[in-house]
Structure 1
Amino acid sequence: MKSYCNVSSSSLILVLVTILLFFTSVNCEDPYRFFTWKVTYGDIYPLGLKQQGILINGQFPGPQIDAVTNENLIISVYNYLTEPFLISWNGIQHRRNSWQDGVSGTNCPIPPGKNFTYTLQVKDQIGSYFYFPSLGMHKAAGAFGSIRIWSRPRIPVPFPPPAGDFVLLAGDWSKLGHRRLRRVLENGHNLPFPDGLLINGRGWNGNTFTVDQGKTYRFRISNVGLTTSINFRIQGHTLKLVEVEGSHTLQNTYSSLDIHLGQSYSVLVTANQPVKDYYIVVSTRFTRRVLTTTSILHYSYSRIGVSGPAPPGPTLDITSSVFQARTIRWNLTASGPRPNPQGSYHYGLIKPTRTIMLANSAPYINGKQRYAVNSVSYLEPDTPLKLADYFNIPGVFYVGGIPTSPTGGNAYLQTAVMGANFHEYVEIVFQNWEDSVQSWHIDGYAFFVVGFGSGQWAPNSRGRYNLRDTVARTTTQVYPKSWTAIFVALDNVGMWNIRSENWARQYLGQQFYLRVYTPSKSLRDEYPVPKNALLCGRASGRVTRPF
């Protein structure tokens, strides 16, 4: 009789190893963090006047998200507003997963009374970011909050653990409600100058940050405003820059920092001054009328409050801001989210496969103010682009709906989608011929800001690129009548929003989508549509494939 137990020792070892690997993979799955958010209206008093705000779990700003590299975030959002709602994640790269991006080109809005659960993984990321509401002018009513992604315990961080970690969400604010601001834009006008600045949802001296003399603290500052760059400073103290949107930087020291729309910075501040209170100051940058707000840096046991005017900062000067921007460099020896040093990725030795030039403009179309990229002002479709692409719905968009360089022609409305191939390495030049500072963000990606320059970009401008240690980040500024060049590896398949971070310009068309495509249907390249995907527009009633 043949024995079924006659297994060779080598086969038995193979079986045991397979079982061990299976259980190891199960037990070593990256951890999950679960959040339940209820989005409601509520009264807020940011500038001393009652306004209708948008709250998350009754909070303005919204709850803080803390996570460790590679953790999975399960965020269930319940919409108790009377209007559709979406949350986007400024700087979170959603590896292989633009389905979770939370902008109108990828997701259907959450209808009133409904919910949607975002499933995100902060894959290979560290650093300081924020989330915000992406529809309409909801950002002008709140619903934004901070995201802190911490390094894994065994990955070294290039500075000693600080005594505390503070978040400052700063930006301009209007006393007009978000609906009135939306009507202003839809009637063909630009937004009025903001009424003030906020730090963590409060105005003048509205926040106190307590420190102990002699200790060092981390401050994470994000510009969550609608229209203006800001300058950040702390009276009597210096700022040691250590991180920019997921990149550890050379630890240069500054008296103040310019932070443009959508950008986030981490600085170390040592409480090495006499025991008293000091102003933390945020003011508008590049505006003739300067808005200022303050918080308090309070030394423990201090009995001496702040007094006198807050220390002034730079205002219209561009040269100092450009100089500062060029000093923000990658720390090549520090690790990022992985143990290997940041400098092990030699971005400057890779030859770009093509150059894309993007020029912003402020045209009038049909008698109304619009904003455009390469003469195309983005027209919102009736169906999210990602769903239209997935279901092959004709007539929603076509790839090539925006040219890859300025045409100089008259501006026009178009659902703008630019095509790109997976694994391309691309040079993008942002060309700004206007008199205002621009701020650009690319969803799903961090990119290398290789150069700034005045005037018209030309091929010989590459001779001024920093091809060694420029910082990798998710949002970059473009100075007036100037250009900014970036390198980006298109290693993230999906439909990704490229937009102005000036929210009036974004709302009136200064944005488009980059379709990073591969014919592969492998989960290694892109996740399929999630089971809980909301379907709307021409995708309503269709059947998705199982997740």
Structure 2
Amino acid sequence: MGSLTFITSSLLLFFFFFLLSPPTTIRADDPYRFFTWKVTYGDIWPAGVKQQGILINGMFPGPQIDAVTNDNLIINVFNYLPEPFLISWNGLYQRRNSWQDGVLGTNCPIPPGKNFTYVLQVKDQIGSYFYFPSVAFHKAAGGFGGIRIFSRPMIPVPFPPPAGDYTLLVGDWYKAHHGSLKWMLDNGQKLPFPDALLINGRGWNGNTFTVDQGKTYRFRISNVGLENCINIRFQGHLMKLVEVEGSHTLQNMYSSLDVCLGQSMSVLVTANQPPRDYYIATSTRFSKPVITTTSILHYSNSWSSPVGPVPGGPTDQIGFGINQARSIRWNLTASGPRPNPQGSYHYGMVKTTRTIRLANSAAWINGKQRYAVNGVSFYQPDTPLKLADYYKIPVFQPGSMPDSPSYGSGYMQTSVMAANFRDYVEIVFENYEDTVQSWHIDGYSFWVVGMDGGQWTWASRNNYNLRDAVNRVTLQVFPRSWTAIYMPLDNVGMWNVRSENWARQYLGQQFYLRVYSPANSWRDENPIPKNALLCGWARGRRTRPL
């Protein structure tokens, strides 16, 4: 391991980065934040039994990233695992830079005993996000952590500064080794129901959040789980929703909130109750059975334990979920990362150039359980698609992902949807199954303009919200329902469109969106990094921009 010597001097690391990077990625006016991460296995006990977990700098969950709008993040990841490893950034939509996306379609995984330096910029972003490991079902072993992006001082925030800012990483959990879960999926089996629900890597009453009576606190909630939406409640307290994945929202009050897979949101909670301890309760949604876990909201002037039963979640299923999701609206009077968060146009006044309909399905292919989008179950080649596109290696065909459901039997293919830079698309996610679906699109944010039960039709557009739909990066589609988004294709690159249900993603419910610009200009897309890892048919090629 002598080759894994850490670079502890920020000055040396900055000089190294300067030599590796093309001049277009350097912004002298934007600060740099440097991180060195050591990824290892270690013993953890999140569900009451000893497990092998993935630690970052010895921590489970991993260290939190704090940044300010437009900061440059230089994250040097050393892989001490005995197998390849890769980290992705859930919600950091890298402008012109899918080279740093951290999924198998864009990056070679970091080999054992090697390192890779991610160069990210949180350009024009604020809000709450998280990172996670994206290969080999590592997500079931940990390796995730929170991301907080604060507004620049000159940009006003639509609520007073909170007395504290807490992160809640909530998700379902298996006691089985992640390798055993991967083996089950590789052999065509479905995963069993999860064993536990965790908050910040701990089970029942495993966390205490201390508050002072009369003060208001921000809680950033992210669903980092594998299978289930969750619902969260603060016993005896209301939550004021203020931010969803980088968008300030109308500040509605909620007694409970659904947070589906991959989603993040911020609430304000005021400690305005009699001084004692209260439960922070989370439970799985749309599931049988229902798993519940708790943390403690502790008043600093209290010596009393929580009183009464743990507050239960909503019993109504789809109706409650759809109505609550529709109630989340964009705060049009609030500033975003820039003074005008809507840019030079309003999303509802732009005519769409293309309609894409995406339907998930459970497909049985070659005697094994697979999952598909529009009948296509994604097959991952050994060469990342971004590298294959750059070096013109024929491992995929643009346009191999159809624009609409086929309703036929499923088949496996390296599915890539072709799209043009600066198009403005309508995407309708259709769910004909009895389970809630959660979807994420790397490299983009989008407006959730509509959702409803039943089947989407052209007439469904009559009920779209074209005024104050929330702009976000992850969406949910309820059982036997649909969700529609508007999205400007303003980010050139190869971008992953995936299910956030991690078993479904692993077994093919994903594809790549190739947003193409014929200009081939550094103005539209950053060149290949000089430190890019090369694998598959790209191994041995040069990395200097051609």
Given that 1:332 and 1:343 are in contact with CA atoms closer than 8 Å, whether structure 2 keeps it comes out as no
Alignment of 1:419-458 (within 5 A): 419-458=418-457
- Residue in 1 aligned with 2:10? none
1:545 aligns with 2:544: yes
In 1, the alpha carbon distance for the partners of 2:515 and 2:442 equals 12
1:403 aligns with 2:387: no
Instruction: Find the residue that maps to 2:429 and give its secondary structure.
Output: strand
- Residue in 1 aligned with 2:390? 390
For 1:230-280, what per-residue CA distance to the aligned partner results, in whole angstroms no more than 9, with x for missing partners? 001100000000000000000000001000000001000000000000000
Instruction: Find the residue that maps to 1:287 and give its secondary structure.
Output: coil
Alignment of 1:72-91 (within 5 A): 72-91=72-91
In 2, the alpha carbon distance for the partners of 1:222 and 1:27 equals 30
Alignment of 1:306-455 (within 5 A): 306-315=306-315, 317-342=317-342, 345-394=345-394, 396-455=395-454
Given that 1:239 and 1:255 are in contact with CA atoms closer than 8 Å, whether structure 2 keeps it comes out as yes
Name the % identity: 74
Given that 2:78 and 2:115 are in contact with CA atoms closer than 8 Å, whether structure 1 keeps it comes out as yes
Alignment of 1:48-447 (within 5 A): 48-315=48-315, 317-342=317-342, 345-394=345-394, 396-447=395-446
Q: Which has the larger radius of gyration?
A: 1
In 2, the alpha carbon distance for the partners of 1:340 and 1:193 equals 45
Given that 1:333 and 1:342 are in contact with CA atoms closer than 8 Å, whether structure 2 keeps it comes out as no
Q: 1:27 to 1:219 in 2, by over 3 A?
A: closer
Amino acid of the structure 2 residue aligned with 1:327? S
In 1, the alpha carbon distance for the partners of 2:180 and 2:278 equals 37
In 2, the alpha carbon distance for the partners of 1:544 and 1:74 equals 19
Q: 1:111 to 1:298 in 2, by over 3 A?
A: same
- Residue in 2 aligned with 1:30? 30
Q: How many residue pairs are counted as aligned between the two chains?
A: 522
Amino acid of the structure 2 residue aligned with 1:258? D
In 2, the alpha carbon distance for the partners of 1:315 and 1:29 equals 51
Task: Report deviation, 1:341.
Answer: 4.8
Instruction: Find the residue that maps to 2:398 and give its secondary structure.
Output: coil
Amino acid of the structure 1 residue aligned with 2:59? Q
Given that 1:334 and 1:342 are in contact with CA atoms closer than 8 Å, whether structure 2 keeps it comes out as no
Amino acid of the structure 2 residue aligned with 1:36? T
In 1, the alpha carbon distance for the partners of 2:341 and 2:264 equals 22
Task: Report deviation, 1:342.
Answer: 4.3
Task: Report deviation, 1:28.
Answer: 5.1
Instruction: Find the residue that maps to 2:117 and give its secondary structure.
Output: strand
Amino acid of the structure 2 residue aligned with 1:460? A
Instruction: Find the residue that maps to 2:40 and give its secondary structure.
Output: strand
Task: Report deviation, 1:27.
Answer: 9.2
Given that 2:188 and 2:368 are in contact with CA atoms closer than 8 Å, whether structure 1 keeps it comes out as yes
- Residue in 2 aligned with 1:10? none
In 1, the alpha carbon distance for the partners of 2:342 and 2:279 equals 35
For 1:496-527, what per-residue CA distance to the aligned partner results, in whole angstroms no more than 9, with x for missing partners? 00000000000000000000000112221000
In 2, the alpha carbon distance for the partners of 1:287 and 1:328 equals 23
Instruction: Find the residue that maps to 1:542 and give its secondary structure.
Output: coil
User: Which range moves more in the overlay, 518-527 or 216-225?
Assistant: 518-527
Given that 2:531 and 2:543 are in contact with CA atoms closer than 8 Å, whether structure 1 keeps it comes out as no
Task: Report deviation, 1:340.
Answer: 2.1
1:473 aligns with 2:472: yes
Task: Report deviation, 1:529.
Answer: 0.2
In 1, the alpha carbon distance for the partners of 2:206 and 2:189 equals 32
For 1:158-204, what per-residue CA distance to the aligned partner results, in whole angstroms no more than 9, with x for missing partners? 00000000000001000001100001111111111000100000000
Q: TM-score, normalised by structure 1?
A: 0.94
In 2, the alpha carbon distance for the partners of 1:330 and 1:185 equals 39
In 1, the alpha carbon distance for the partners of 2:26 and 2:480 equals 55
For 1:449-475, what per-residue CA distance to the aligned partner results, in whole angstroms no more than 9, with x for missing partners? 000011111111100100000000000
Task: Report deviation, 1:315.
Answer: 4.1
Task: Report deviation, 1:307.
Answer: 3.9
- Residue in 2 aligned with 1:488? 487
Given that 1:451 and 1:485 are in contact with CA atoms closer than 8 Å, whether structure 2 keeps it comes out as yes
Task: Report deviation, 1:345.
Answer: 4.0
Task: Report deviation, 1:309.
Answer: 2.4
Could you tell me which runs of 5 or more consecutive residues in structure 1 were left unpaired when the two chains were aligned: 1-24
Task: Report deviation, 1:433.
Answer: 0.2
User: Which range moves more in the overlay, 113-122 or 402-411?
Assistant: 402-411
Task: Report deviation, 1:546.
Answer: 4.1
Amino acid of the structure 2 residue aligned with 1:89? W
Instruction: Find the residue that maps to 1:185 and give its secondary structure.
Output: helix
Instruction: Find the residue that maps to 2:89 and give its secondary structure.
Output: strand
Could you tell me which runs of 5 or more consecutive residues in structure 2 were left unpaired when the two chains were aligned: 1-24
In 1, the alpha carbon distance for the partners of 2:336 and 2:143 equals 29
- Residue in 2 aligned with 1:9? none
- Residue in 1 aligned with 2:15? none
For 1:195-237, what per-residue CA distance to the aligned partner results, in whole angstroms no more than 9, with x for missing partners? 0100000000000000000000000000000000000110000
Task: Report deviation, 1:344.
Answer: 6.4
Task: Report deviation, 1:50.
Answer: 0.3
Amino acid of the structure 1 residue aligned with 2:540? G
Instruction: Find the residue that maps to 1:337 and give its secondary structure.
Output: coil
Instruction: Find the residue that maps to 2:107 and give its secondary structure.
Output: coil
Q: TM-score, normalised by structure 2?
A: 0.94
